[in-house]
Structure 1
Amino acid sequence: MASGYKVPDLPLFDASSPGGKMWVRFEEEIKRSRFITTLARADSRERALALVDCVRKEFPDARHHCFAYAAGRPGETAKVGQSDDGEPHGTAGRPMLSQLLYGGVGEVAAVTTRYFGGIKLGTGGLTRAYQNGVKEALALLPVTEKKVFLRARARVDYAHADRFYRLLPRFQAKVAEESFGESALFTLELPEECFEACRLALRECTDGMSELVPAEEKG
C-alpha cells in the first residue's frame, strides 16, 4: 500500500483568519506587469475558492486573479480545478495546474494575481509567466509528510488477546471499536504504510488464527 504524501506545512486555509501564516508568496515583474503568486494548503474545492476570494479582496484593483488547485494526493486529478480569469484560453490556469500536479505536493492551491503593465506578453510569454510563478512559489513552500490512516478489522481468540494488545504500539495502531462474543472483534486505526507489517505480525503471534483486513472487507 502507498505510504503518506507531502503536503504544505501550513494550516488548512481558513477564510475567517487569513494572513501570512496561511500562505507563501512569490512576486516578480515581467515587462512592467506585476505577478503575485499565492500558495496555500487546500484539501477541497471550497477551500481553494475561498483562497481565490480572499486574494481578490486583498488586490481588488488587479486585472486578473488566475488560479489552480490540486486538493488531493500529489498528481491525483480527482480534485483539481483551474481558471484563466480573462487571460487568453489555456495561458494561465492550465500551466499553473500542471506545475501543481508535477510539484510532488498534495492539497495545494495557487492564485496568481496580475497587474497589467501596458505591454502584451503574447500567449507564450503569459504561459511562462504563470507557470514560473507557481514553480518559484512551490520552491518557497515548507512541506511535511501527511500520514494516511485506515481502518482495519481483526477477530482475535481470547487466548491471544494479550499478544494482540502488545502488538499494537509497534505499528502505531489504536483500537477504534471492539465487541466481544465467542471471540473479540476489533476495529483498528493505523497508518496505511504499517498495514501489511501489522497484518503479518498478527498472523504470526496468533499462530495463523487471526487475519487483519481493511474495514470495508469482512474479517
Structure 2
Amino acid sequence: MSKNSDGRLYVYRGGQGEIIEKKSRFIATVKQVKSEEEAVSFINETKKKYWDARHNCSAFVIGKRQELTRCSDDGEPAGTAGRPMLDVLLKEDIHDAAVVVTRYFGGVLLGTGGLVRAYQQATKEGLLASDIIEKQDGSILLIRTDYTGIGKLQYLFAREKITVIDTEYAADVLVKAVIPEADRERIEKTITEQTNGTAKQEWGDEVTFAEHDGEVLLFEE
C-alpha cells in the first residue's frame, strides 16, 4: 500500500487474511466502518461467527484524522494483540476500518514477542486481502476549449495525471476534471500557459475523491 503525501487510505471493501504460527491459526477479518457503533457491531458479529475460537482480538480507527481508536486483547496478555493491531492501522495510515484477528490456539505458547508479531502479521495479511483506496481532497474544474485546443489539454492531463470525470463535445469541448487541493493554483496556471489563455476555466464544488479500477469515486464527508 502506498499513497501520496496528501492522500488518506481507506478500506473500500474488506477482506480476510490468514497465517499459521506454531500451529495457532490467526484469521484477520477487515471491514470498512464509519462509526464506533458500526465497529462494535462488526466485532460482535465476528465473535459470534468464530464463537469456538480462543480469542477474537480487535482494533479500529475512525475519522479523517484517525481521531477515534479502540483496541482489545480479548484475553491475550495485555498489549500483545489489540495495540499491535492498532499500530498497524495507524502506521499504514488506514482510516474508517476495523479488524478482528481470530486465534485458534494450536497448543504451543508463542510468548509476548511472538504474539505481537503474529497479530501484526495477520492484520497486514487482512489489509493485503482488502480493497484499499486513497481519498484526496480536491475541487471540480470545468475547462471549456475549442476543438483545436483539446489535443493540448489531453496531453497536459496525461502529463500531470489529472483525473478527468467527463468530456462533453458540442459547439466546443467542455472537460470536467477533479484537481487535488494542493495543485489548484499550479494546474490553473499551467492550463492558462499551455493554451495561451484560450481555455476558459471555472472552479466548481469541493469534493473528496479517489480512483478505483479506472473509475473516479466521489464521496460526501
Q: Structure 2 unaligned runs (5+)?
A: 144-162, 164-177, 190-205, 207-221
What are the within-5 Å matches in structure 2 for residues 26-175 of structure 1? 26-73=17-64, 76-148=65-137, 169-170=142-143
Alignment-derived partner of residue 5 in structure 1: 8
2:44 maps to a residue whose letter is D
The match for 1:193 is: 181
Q: Deviations over 1:30-58 (max 9, x none)?
A: 12211100111112221211111111111
Q: Deviation at 1:5?
A: 2.2
TM-aligned CA deviation for residue 195 of structure 1: 9.2
CA contact (8 A) 2:18 2:125 kept: no
Q: Are 1:92 and 1:126, in contact at CA under 8 Å, matched by a contact in 2?
A: yes
The answer to whether the 8 Å contact 1:4/1:193 transfers is no
C-alpha distance in structure 1 between counterparts of 2:91 and 2:6, whole Å: 18
Q: Which runs of 5+ in 1 are unaligned?
A: 11-22, 151-166, 173-189, 202-213, 215-219
Distance 1:6 1:37 in 2: 18
Identity of aligned residues (%): 39
TM-score by length of structure 2 reads 0.60
> How high is the TM-score relative to the length of structure 1?
0.60
Mark the CA change 1:31 to 1:168 in structure 2 (over 3 Å): closer, same or farther. closer
1:192 Cα deviation from its structure 2 partner:
7.0
Displacement, 1:135?
1.4
Richer in strand (by share): 2
In 1, distance between residues paired with 2:25 and 2:45?
Answer: 18
> What is the RMSD of the two structures over their aligned residues, measured on CA atoms?
3.0
